[in-house]
Structure 1
Amino acid sequence: MRKTRRRPYAEQRPQDLGGGVWSVPVPIPGNPLGYTLVYAIESPQGPVLVDAGWNHPDAWEALRGGLATLGMDVASVRGVVVTHFHPDHAGLAGRVREESGGWIAMHEADAALVRLIHGLDAGEHEAFQTDMLKRAGADPGDVRVVAAERPLPPARPDRELADGDLVDLPGRKLRAVHTPGHTPGHICLHLEDADRLFTGDHVLPDITPHIGIYPYDRDDVDPLGDFLASLDRVGELGPLDALPAHEWMFPDVAARAAEIRHHHEDKLDRLAALLAERAEPLTLWEIAAMMTWNRPWEDLAPILRGMAAGEAAAHLRTLEVRGSVRRVRGVDAVRFQAVES
C-alpha cells in the first residue's frame, strides 16, 4: 500500500479500496483534523461501517452521499462498529441506526462511559469539570470556559464487544482488538481474511492520539501505560496494512506503532528531567504550561489547555507508576515533584 501525503477535506473522495472495502471521508466542521475516514465493509446482508463521523448536517450529507457514490444506500447498512465513543467517530451512529434499523457496537468499557455520560445532566457535568480544573490549579478564566463545554453524547450501543470478539459481519472475519489508551474501550479491528487493520485513532500515520486522564488527579488508572502496552500488542500482529480514522492509509502498522512508542518514551524522559530541575512541587497546570506542545501555551485556547493538562496528567501518572514522580496532596490543588534517585 502506497503512503500518501495528507490532503485537505476538499480534495478527499470516496474510494474503492478493493477486497470489498470502501472509504468515505466525512468532515468534522471547525476541527483542524478535517475529516474522519469512515470505512464500509461488504457483506451479503448489507455493509458494516467502521465508525460513522461527527453529528452535523454536512457530515451526514457527506456520509450518505459518499455511500451512494459507491453504490450503497445508508438504509442498507447492517451495523456500525465504533472504534471508540468520541463524537467524530460515534456521532452519526445513531442517525445511521434510525435510517437503517441496524445495530451499533462498541467495546464494553466505552459503552459504560456512554451510559455514564447520558446519566449526567448539564449541571452535574459542569460541576465535575469545574472541580477537576480547580484541583489542577487552572486559571479561573480557563475554568469557566472549559467547564461549560459539553458535546452531544453519542447514541447508546446495542451490542458490546470484548477483546477477541468477532463482529457480526457475514462472510468475513473482523475481530476486535482491545487497544485502551485514547479511551478505555478503544478497539482496532483486524480484518483477518485480508491482513488489514482498522486502527481508529490508536495508530495514525503522522500525528499521535490524545492520551489523557479525567479527572486529572485519578491514581487508579494509567492510560498512557495502557496505550504503550497496546502499541506493543498491535506490533505483534505484524506488518499489516493500516486503515486509520484520520490522515491516510499506510503500510506496516507495526513499524509505526514502534515510532509512536519511542515518541512517548522521549516525552516521559523530558518531563522527568524538567521536574528534577525543580525543588518545589508544581501543580498540574504549571507543569502543563512548561511542556512542549504544537504551539506556545499562551496561544492555546482554553479547551486545548484542558486537553494538554489531561495529557500531562497521563504522562505524570506513568512516571508515578514507574517510581520517578510522586504527588503531594494539598488543600487547594494536587502537586507533583520528582523522586530523588
Structure 2
Amino acid sequence: MDRITLGNEEFEGRNNAYVLADGDDLALVDTGIATPGVRSQLRDGLADCGYAFADVDAIVLTHYHVDHAGLAGEIQAESDAAVYVHEADAPIVAGDEDALEELHARRRELLDTWGVPDALQAELQSFLDAASEIEGEPADVTPIEDGTVLELGTWQLEAVHAPGHTAGLCWFDILDAPASGPAGTDVASGSREAFVGDAVLPVYTPNIGGADVRVDRPLETYRTTLERLVDRGYDRVWPGHRDPIDAPADRAQTILDHHRERTDRVLGVLRTHGPCDAWTVSDHLFGELSGIHILHGPGEAYAHLDHLRHEGVLALEGGEYRLLDRAVDTEGRPSR
C-alpha cells in the first residue's frame, strides 16, 4: 500500500489518497480535490508507483466531501473504474440535482434558524460558489452499505457506516491485504487496521453539525461512531488527512472528552449570557469566522445545543436556547 499526500489548504490539512495495488488490480481510497495542483500530485504519485489514472479499477470513497471525492468522476472517465460510496452519500457524488438542492435548501434553512447574519450568509455563499470548481465531475457510483465487503484483488475491505461528519461516511476495515509493500505503509501481519476517512483525525476534531446538515442529532450520532471505533480495538488507522494514528482508541477518547468539554462551554455561555441562538453561542465559542467556518462554527454550536435540548437540559423558544433549572452530569444529561 502507498499513501499519496495531497495539498489542501481549506479544510483539515493534507489529504491522503491510498493506493491499493495487487498485480493488475489497482484501487484508490479517496482522491483529493479537483484542482490542477492536486490532480498533478495524484498523477505524479501514481506514476511513482508505476500507474496512471487509466489503470485504476476501483475507487473507494470514505464520504462525499470534495477533498475526498473531487477527482473520482475524472478518474472514472479515464479508466472506467467502479466508484463505491455509502448509499447516503452516493446521490451527491453522482451529482443528483434533487439531492443537491435538498442539501442546499437544508443549509439555507439552518443558517436562518441558527441566526447567522445575512452579510455572513452572503460571504459564505460566495465562498461556496468560488469553491464549486474543486467539486470535480459527477461519477457513476455503486452504493454500498454497512457490512458491504469489497474484493479488490487480494485486498478485502469491509464498509463500516460511521455517520456524524457526513450522513454516509464509512471507514473500511482491512480484512485482508497483500504482504508486500514499501516499509512503513504495509498493513502489519495480525494487526487490525482500517481506512477511516474523517471519522477520526490525528490533529483536528472533525466538524459536526455544519459539515453535513443532513445528519440528525449530529453530536449523539458522532459519539456513537467514536464509541464503535473504540470497541473495534484497532491497532492503527489510516485517516483522510495527515499521518496514521497508532493509538486510535486513545485518539477517539480524546475527541469524546473534547466534546464533553465543549458541552460544558456551551452551558457556560448560556449561564452567563442567558438565552441565545446557535450563532451567538458560536460567536462566544469561536469568535470571528470567515469562509467555510461561517457554516462549521454555528453548526458545531448547534450540534451541542441540539444534544442538550434532546436530553431535557435546554428549551428551544423562538430560535433561542434557554437553560432549564436542572443539574446535568458530565454527558450533558439531567442528573438523577
Q: TM-score range by the shorter chain?
A: 0.7 to 0.9
Q: Which residue of 2 aligns with 1:141?
A: 119
Q: CA deviation at 1:113?
A: 4.3
Deviation of 1:130 (Å): 4.6
TM-fit CA distance, 1:322: 1.7
Map 1:1-341 onto structure 2 (within 5 A): 21-28=1-8, 30-31=9-10, 33-114=12-93, 118-119=97-98, 129-148=107-126, 149-150=128-129, 151-152=131-132, 153=135, 155-193=138-176, 194=187, 195-213=192-210, 221-279=216-274, 281-291=275-285, 293=286, 297-298=287-288, 300-328=289-317, 330=318, 334-341=319-326
Question: What is the rounded CA distance, in whole Å, between the counterparts of 2:103 and 2:56 in structure 1?
Answer: 34
Question: Is 1:182–1:227's contact at 8 Å kept on the other side of the alignment?
Answer: yes
Asked whether the equivalents of residues 94 and 140 of structure 2 are also in contact (C-alpha less than 8 Å), the reply is no
Task: Give the drift of 1:275.
Answer: 1.6
* TM-score, normalised with respect to structure 2: 0.83
Specify the alignment match of 1:13 in structure 2.
none
* Structural RMSD (CA): 2.5
Contact 1:44 1:171 in 2 (8 A): no
The alignment partner of 2:2 has SS state of strand
Q: Take 1:141 and 1:26, find their aligned partners in 2: how far apart are those partners?
A: 33
Contact 1:82 1:105 in 2 (8 A): yes
SS at match of 2:50: coil
Deviation at 1:118, TM superposition (A): 2.9
Extract unaligned runs of 5+ from structure 2.
Answer: 177-186, 327-336
Alpha-carbon contact 1:197-1:240 (below 8 Å) kept: no
Alpha-carbon offset, residue 188 of structure 1: 0.6
Distance 1:125 1:160 in 2: 18
Task: Decide whether aligned partners of structure 1 residues 142 and 302 sit closer, same or farther in structure 2, where only a CA change above 3 A counts.
Answer: farther
- State the distance in 2 between where 1:303 and 1:139 align: 15
2:208–2:218: 8 Å Cα contact kept in structure 1?
yes
Indicate the larger mover: 87-96 or 268-277: 268-277
Aligned residues: 307
2 CA distance for matches of 1:126 and 1:226?
21
1:155-202 Cα deviation digits (max 9, x unpaired): 244211111111231222211111100001001111123422111111
Local SS of the residue matching 1:235? helix
Unaligned runs of 5+ in 1: 1-20
Cα offsets for 1:202-252 (capped at 9, x unmatched): 111121111115897x8x821111111111111111142111111211212
Taking structure 1 as reference, are residues 171 and 32 closer, same or farther at Cα in structure 2, changes over 3 Å only?
closer
Q: Give the TM-score taking structure 1 as reference length.
A: 0.82
Shift of 1:276: 3.0
d(CA) in 2 for partners of 1:167 and 1:270? Answer: 42
Displaced runs of 4 or more, over 4 A: 113-117, 124-131, 213-216
Whole-angstrom CA distance in 2 between matches of 1:168 and 1:215: 29
The structural deviation recorded for 1:125 is 7.8
**Percent of paired sites with the same residue:** 30
CA contact (8 A) 1:111 1:157 kept: no
| Residues 128 and 206 of structure 1: CA distance in aligned 2, closer, same or farther (over 3 Å) | closer
Per-residue CA deviation, residues 99-144 of structure 1 (Å, 9 max, x unaligned), is: 111011100111144467633788x987765543333222221022
| Aligned counterparts of 2:99 and 2:88: Cα–Cα separation in 1 | 17
Q: 2: distance between equivalents of 1:104 and 1:168? A: 13
Q: Is the 8 A contact 1:132 1:215 kept in 2?
A: no
* 2:268 partner amino acid: A
- After superposition, the C-alpha distances for 1:301-328 in whole angstroms (9 at most, x for unaligned) are 1542222011111111111222212211
